[in-house]
A and B are shown apart, each in its own frame.
Chain A
Amino acid sequence: MKPFTYEKPSSPAEAAAAAARVEGARFIAGGTNLLDLMKLQIETPSHLIDLNDVGLDKIEATDQGGLRVGALVRNTDLAADWRVRRDYGVLTRALVAGASGQIRNQATTAGNLLQRTRCPYFYDTNQPCNKRSPGSGCGAIGGFSRQHAIVGVNDACIATHPSDMAVAMRVLDANVETVRSDGSTRTITIADFHRLPGDTPHIENALEAGELITAVVLPAPAGGTHVYRKVRDRASYAFALVSVAAIVQPDGTGKVALGGVAHKPWRVEAAESQTGRGAKAVASELLADARTTHDNAFKVPLVERTLASVMAEAKAQP
C-alpha cells in the first residue's frame, strides 16, 4: 500500500467536508474492496476517511411505506432484517448469494454499490485497462473474456459490475441519497447511479468528488413473488456469470434485472411488457444490442434459460 493519513469523523457532514479538504482522500467503511485494491496499488488514496463512527447504520421505515437503509448497514444485517425478508425478498436473496459470511459481516450497503469490477485485466497492473489507466486500452477485448459483459459494451471496456445487491436494488427501484461536501443533499435513482463505460470507463457512477452516500431508500413494497437466481462456476462464493432478479405479480406481469452481463445492473423496462410472452421474448428484448466475444457468447442463451427457470419458479410459488 502507498502511505496515507487517516481520520475518523463523527458525522456524515464532517466526512463529506473532510473529503473536499484533502486531495486524494477516499472514504472507507467495510474496506473489503478498497483495501484489496490498495494492496495492489490500483487504489492509492493519500488520506482515508473512516466512516465507521458517522452513524448511518440503521434501517428505518419511511413515510412512504418503504425503508431507508443507512449507508453503513452491513450486508448481513440488511439481509437478516425481518422487514426486508418479508417485503423485499429479492434483496435478501441477492445479498446472501454474494461473497462469504465473513465479507458480508464487513461490507456495507453503500460500499456494495461502489465496489469495482473483478475484471482480471483491471486487477493486473501489467495489463492495459482503460478503467485503471484511462487511454491504455482494454486487455479483456481479445483476451480471456468469459466473465465479461455482453450488453452496453464498447471498444473501451467490457467489464461487468460485480454486485448482486445492486441488481436487486435496480429491480426494486431504489433511490440513493447523498450529501455533498458543501452540505447539500440529493437523491439519485438507482437507474442513474451506475454508468455505462462510454469514453470514460474509469467513471463508474454519478457521484461527484467527495460526495457521500448516506442511505439507499426502498419504495413501498411491490408485492409479488421475489426471485434472485445466480448462475456461477461454484455453488458458493463466486461472482455471477449471469444473475436474474425478478418480481413477478400474480397476473404474470413483472420486473426483471440482470447481473453479470453489463457495466451496471441491466434492466430494460420495455422488455418487461413481454413477460406474458415468455422468457425468449423478454431475453431478446433485454439483450437486443448484445455484443459478445468468443468466450462469453454463452451468456446469451444462459440469460434466456435462467429467465425461463426464474419465471417458472415464480409461477409455481403461491
Chain B
Amino acid sequence: MASFHLTRRKLLKALLAAGGAVTARPLLRESHGTTPAPAASAPAAPSTVNVLLRVNGTEHQMMIDPRTTLLDALRERLHLTGTKKGCDQGQCGACTVIVDGRRITSCLTLAVMQQGHDVTTIEGLGTPGDLHPMQAAFVRHDGFQCGFCTPGQICSAVAMLEEVKAGIPSHATASLTGGVELSASELRERMSGNLCRCGAYSNIQEAIGEVAGVRR
C-alpha cells in the first residue's frame, strides 16, 4: 500500500512537472506584464509570497503562490494528505482542520492568511500507535465506510465538543440563556457541516456521543 502510494505520488509529480513546463511561459508573461504597470505606490506583484505556517506544532517556511488555499498548502506542500479535498467550496467539510482551537474549512481560507496561527490536522491529533480518543471511537463504532470524510469528521467533532463546553449555542439549543447539553439533536445539528456520502451517520453519532459521554 505504502509503495503504491509513493509511486502514484511520484507519477503525479512527474505529470505536474511536465504540465508546469508547458504553462510556465504564459504564467511568467502574465506576472511581468503586458498590461500597464501598476501605479507607483501599488504593492509589487510577486508571483510567490513567503509564508510561515505552524502546523501540528512544527513551523514550515515556504514560497507559495498567494492563491494557495490552506488545504492545498497542507496537502501539496507539506504532504499532510490526511486532510481531504472533497468539494473545494465549503459544502462538504472533508477539509476541516482546527485553527487556534476552532474548526474551519481549509478550502475557504488562503495559506497566506493563516500565518501566525496554530493549525492542527488529523495527523496532529493522533498517530496510528497513539490514537486520539475520537479516532479510537470512530474505529470502535465503525464510524465510516470509505473513510474519505473521516479526517474532517474527526477534526470537526473534536472542536465541536469544545464549542459545547464553551456554551456556544446552536440551532438545536432550546434556551439561549441556559446552558448547552449535547443531546442527539444537538450533535446532529452541530455536525451538519460534515457530509458522509456513505451514510455512516448513525455510527459517527455513536462514536462522538461516546467521547462526549452522552447517555443513550
Contacts and interface: CB of A to CB of B under 8 A. Distances in A.
Interface in A217-262: 235-237
B31 interface: yes
A31 interface: yes
Nearest to B49: A6
A265 interface: no
Given A35-B108, A101-B156, A105-B103, A47 B171 contact: no
B104 interface: yes
Contact of A100 (B67, B112, B177, B192): B192
Given A21-B39, A21-B42, A50 B113 contact: yes
A1 B113 contact: no
A236 B110 contact: no
Contacts of B1: none
A101 B190 contact: yes
Contacts of B110: 6, 28, 31, 35, 48
Interface stretch (B2-10, B160-168, B204-212): B160-168
Nearest to B171: A96
Nearest to B40: A21
A54 B39 CA distance: 24
Contacts of A28: 110, 113
- Contact count band on B: 35 or more
A35 B31 contact: no
A165 interface: no
Interface string B49-92: 10000000000000001110100000000000000000011100
A22 B169 contact: no
A102 B96 CA distance: 7
B47 interface: yes
Contacts of B89: 36, 39
Interface stretch (A57-65, A78-86, A145-153, A177-185): A78-86
Given A5-B45, A32-B90, A235-B189, 4 more contacts: A32-B105, A47-B43, A50-B113, A96-B171
Top 6 A-B pairs ranked by shortest CB distance?
A: A100-B193, A236-B192, A85-B176, A237-B192, A6-B66, A1-B67
Interface of B: 30-31, 38-39, 41-47, 49, 65-67, 69, 88-90, 93, 96, 102-105, 107-110, 112-113, 156, 159-160, 163, 166-171, 173, 176-177, 188-194
20 contacts: A3-B47, A21-B41, A23-B38, A31-B109, A32-B90, A32-B108, A35-B107, A36-B89, A36-B90, A47-B43, A76-B163, A85-B169, A96-B171, A101-B170, A102-B93, A102-B105, A105-B104, A106-B105, A235-B189, A235-B192
